[in-house]
Structure 1
């Protein structure tokens, strides 16, 4: 008995006749008949009621079809799970609470592990923290080290937030501002920015944020409008900053985070090449 015979049995049940099943399976009717006879011999029972001009599944055959479907579903699940397991072995999953640290980390991972696929997501801080603790991710990026002996934390990079305004804006001459000073401002904001979203909304509850999903649209609005926006030093390094803007430092401690790369302690050996680069 083999998988092919079980697939043939199910096809006969589906097509109702041997000839229709043989046509669907792209084999001859005599070959399909011989295959079913061998299956019956292997099982030690008859699965079909045969007459001179027809063959039909009997009651035992109907039961056999149900078992065949179960076996094939199990084989399919086995195949898919093994493929997914093998894929995970070759995939390094990263979750960050902000976009910019990924610009620093992902090239390091690609260099250290060229044969691996690297997947990354941006979530808020509780989601990142829960994800690394529940082993949903192998690497987490957070704005603080984890005080837990199961994990190791390594400094990755610093980032500093600025309020970006045109020269005529009333705040343009300020040497620095706190986020609560900006409460009530209508401000351009990018989506999918992780903890920056929660921070700005928490500190500026009365502000109206015009959120853009596409980086190009956001850049064009910043370039063409007089609306203020946020930008960080890492974003200005990574992308061209708009020249007709003044960048005012945000003085809140939370707006100037030190990001940490966090891994499970038992994965220290696996990520030794990365840790060497982080500690350079």
Structure 2
């Protein structure tokens, strides 16, 4: 029976137009490619080419063979990808969250409960997390919405409250509490990978400029040296870079959040020993 690499060779001849170009792309000699194609024709019991001096073109059977070759290669790639994905899924626990801080505490706990598994996590929107839980993209998600169907377990996990950190000389640093609207119009130092928090802050502070930073080290250095406001939470806490700053709680309901863990009842055994932080 013919081999998959012979179908790859057939498709390469179509793509690169000549045996010599196809052989160069496939990193084999032209005579070796020619012999391989001849063996393919013998296996199929048909001739695939019109052979003329210094020219090779597909005949009617060759064109049909190309169509089958494409379908077979697509199926073989699909098979490989599907098997790899299934194998990885059996060895991987995927965590999705609308915010980063709960992942920082949940990931090591899940890893401790299941040391034989790989743990991967990512931040996504609420809708994508809910869809991903249903289609098994995620085995467990963290969201601020407790609603769930009868097939899903929901538990209170933790509460996270947003603060603004201000230099002592800032006009608002003496306040006992603030609303995001009080900061509207000011430039804000902002970590970029905060999930849903950023959407809320931008909605509440439409006139502010958010100076986005992708790296914590850079953000912390700016906190240390800059007079601009920045955000922290009760989970992230005070950092060395903000030790000379004042942390003022924010009173907006949207930024004082209870996070919930959700997972399928079928995975109850996997996650039942997780300890809530609340």
**TM-score after normalising by structure 2:** 0.79
In the alignment, structure 1 residue 275 sits paired with structure 2 residue 276: no
Which is higher, the Rg of structure 1 or of structure 2? Answer: 1
Contact 1:155 1:261 in 2 (8 A): yes
Residues 182 and 28 (structure 1 numbering): CA distance in 2 closer, same or farther, change over 3 Å?
A: closer
User: Aligned residue for 1:75?
Assistant: 76
Residues 253 and 241 (structure 1 numbering): CA distance in 2 closer, same or farther, change over 3 Å?
A: farther
Aligned Cα RMSD in Å? 3.6
Residues 5 and 229 (structure 1 numbering): CA distance in 2 closer, same or farther, change over 3 Å?
A: closer
Size of the aligned set, in residue pairs, is 275
Residues 142 and 32 (structure 1 numbering): CA distance in 2 closer, same or farther, change over 3 Å?
A: same
Contact 2:184 2:207 in 1 (8 A): yes
Contact 1:189 1:210 in 2 (8 A): yes
Structure 1 gaps, min length 5: none
Partner SS, residue 278 of structure 1: coil
Give the distance between the partners of 1:31 and 1:185, measured in 2 at CA: 67
Q: Where do residues 132-171 of structure 1 align in structure 2 (5 Å cutoff)?
A: 132-171=133-172
Deviations 1:94-139 (A, max 9, x none): 2211110010111112222223232222123344344434544222
Deviations 1:41-73 (A, max 9, x none): 54444556789xx99865434533443343233
Once the two structures are TM-superposed, the CA of residue 36 in structure 1 deviates from its matched residue by 6.0
Give the distance between the partners of 1:36 and 1:213, measured in 2 at CA: 52
Residues 62 and 230 (structure 1 numbering): CA distance in 2 closer, same or farther, change over 3 Å?
A: closer
User: Aligned residue for 1:101?
Assistant: 102
Partner SS, residue 120 of structure 2: strand
Residues 67 and 244 (structure 1 numbering): CA distance in 2 closer, same or farther, change over 3 Å?
A: same
User: Aligned residue for 1:257?
Assistant: 257
